[in-house]
Amino acid sequence: MSKRNDWLIGLGIALITIILILFMALFSSRDRSSDRIKISSGGNKIAVVELIGPIYDSRRIVRQFKQFGGHKSIRAIVFRVDSPGGGVAASQEIYEELKKTRETKKIVASMGAVAASGGYYIALPADVIVANPGTITGSIGVIMEFPVFKELLDKIGIEFEVVKSRDHKDIGSPFRKIDKEERDLLNAVAERLGTDSSLMIAGIILCLFTVVFFIAYPKFRTIE
């Protein structure tokens, strides 16, 4: 009886696992196809691409610009941006895709309540940028920040021993303060990201150890 119960439990776990895998695969498939829009042929259309919230992933935006940029019936694209910024790489990828799309389509960047940091940066390749009088934009620069718990840990008697292979392997650790050499190194990185013309990072926020990503799924639509 015990062996039979074990077998039934194992079978139940296997079935639940299979169901979860199938559900995740189905959800993932729908998610990938949700940003594909059926565009009817003929006529002149204006496509609208919306990016709402922090920039953490460029794939949806890039795919939509590629789709609209390659369709003959699309005459122009309105890029609605309402974002405080986000990741460096994702912002760069969106920026580069807008540059490519602008070669074949007119792009108008429309700034919402906030278009700061990366949100400002990704709007730059547009042919025209429009904003409301109350739009918060700009914030060009790079910031690095991380918490330091050393004094708190000292009060409760907790110490951390670190074994590392390189001098700066634990740079930015919250368990100790950075020294002058490390501060100079981080300042150099921030300056390079903020001033290198090949990067043009406009206010991208780099939060070490305490980054919080607010997932925002961009919405897209085509207006006839």
- Using CA atoms in the order 154, 158, 159, 161, what is the torsion angle rounded to 10 degrees? -160
For residue 127, the model assigns a pLDDT of 95
Quick one: average pLDDT of 130-157?
82
Residue 29 has pLDDT above 50, yes or no: no
For residue 140, the model assigns a pLDDT of 63
Confidence of residue 58 (pLDDT cuts 50, 70, 90): very high
For residue 99, the model assigns a pLDDT of 95
For residue 153, the model assigns a pLDDT of 84
Catalytic residue among 72, 99, 164, 169: 169
The residue ranking higher by pLDDT, 21 or 59, is 59
CA count, 13 A, side-chain hemisphere, 122: 38
Written as one letter, the residue type at 83 is S
Residue 33 has pLDDT above 50, yes or no: no
For residue 60, the model assigns a pLDDT of 94
Catalytic residue among 58, 117, 139, 173: 117
Output the average pLDDT for the chain.
76
For residue 221, the model assigns a pLDDT of 39
Q: Cα separation of 68 and 64, whole Å? A: 6
For residue 152, the model assigns a pLDDT of 85
Full 3-state SS string of 62-121: HHHHHHHHCCCCEEEEEEEEEECCECHHHHHHHHHHHHHHCCCCEEEEEEEEEEECHHHH
State yes or no: is 169 an active-site residue: yes
Quick one: average pLDDT of 44-55?
92
Residue 100 has pLDDT above 90, yes or no: yes
State yes or no: is 117 an active-site residue: yes
The residue ranking higher by pLDDT, 146 or 26, is 146
Q: Is 208 exposed, middle or buried (0-12, 13-18, 19+ CB in 10 A)?
A: middle
pLDDT digits (tens, 9 = 90+) for 145-197: 778 888 888 888 888 888 888 887 778 788 888 888 888 887 887 777 655 43
Q: Cα separation of 12 and 1, whole Å? A: 16
For residue 119, the model assigns a pLDDT of 92
Quick one: average pLDDT of 77-99?
92
